[in-house]
Amino acid sequence: GITEMDDYDQTCAEITQAEQDARIASCRSSNPSLSAAIQELANNHYSHTEGEKSSSFSVRDDPGWHCAQRRFGQSFKTFMNTTRRLKNSLPDYLVMVDDDTYFNVDLFQEHVAAIDPNEPRILSGCMFEANPLIGIPFEFPYGGFGAVYTKETIKQMNTPIKCNNIDETTSSLRHASFVRSACGVIEQNQIGELEFFRDGMSVVDLISAYTAQVEN
């Protein structure tokens, strides 16, 4: 597993409350690299977590919690590097959860019995529904419940994305279609990811570079 000892910056949480408040204000302010939908979400809910009611939110301003939010990108790269070494022995599912999450394996097996792991799917234990009235412009998975990636999803997320010459990326028609779609999304640059993308990166590589905020 990945802990704070594996963070990109192990001094991340060693800041004053004033510095943390300034960090939150900066992330909520206008950012030209974000799409309108992402900017709306950041303005309304950056540093928020769930409240006592489904329509309410609580502010999280402790530095350690914020530092942990980008740990996903690093852990994803670590786990995916392991799957790359497995090559033809990929698991049917990759389950990523927090260390305090209870995961009922028996119920999970029942749930996925009718799902083909050779189809690209990502499963989530809980979804935030789109609700423009409270500033959530689109649905997205709630991280605390974890996520499950099928074997085909693992393959696609490890596929090199060569937007300059898509035909050279892979001989698989399915993966070529995925690469075209990925190139289109990256070109939209909704969260400023284009700055960190280098031709030939996989989605996993891009997630890792973006969350680490390094260009090379």
pTM of structure: 0.79
Q: Give yes or no for residue 110 having a pLDDT over 90.
A: yes
- Residue with structure tokens 């192990």? 10
Long-range contacts of 180-184 (CB under 8 A, 24+ apart): none
Mind listing the pLDDT tens digit for each residue in 115-166?
A: 999 999 999 888 888 888 877 777 888 777 788 999 999 889 888 999 987 6
pLDDT value for 2: 74
DSSP state of 99: T
Q: How far is CA 11 from CA 5, 22, 63, 72, in A?
A: 10, 17, 10, 17
C-alpha–C-alpha distance, residues 186 and 180, integer Å: 10
Alpha carbon 195 to chain centroid, angstroms: 17
Mind listing the pLDDT tens digit for each residue in 69-101?
A: 777 777 777 777 776 776 668 889 988 888 888
pLDDT value for 186: 95
Q: Give yes or no for residue 113 having a pLDDT over 90.
A: yes
Considering 29-33, 44-48, 180-184, the range whose residues carry the highest mean pLDDT is: 180-184
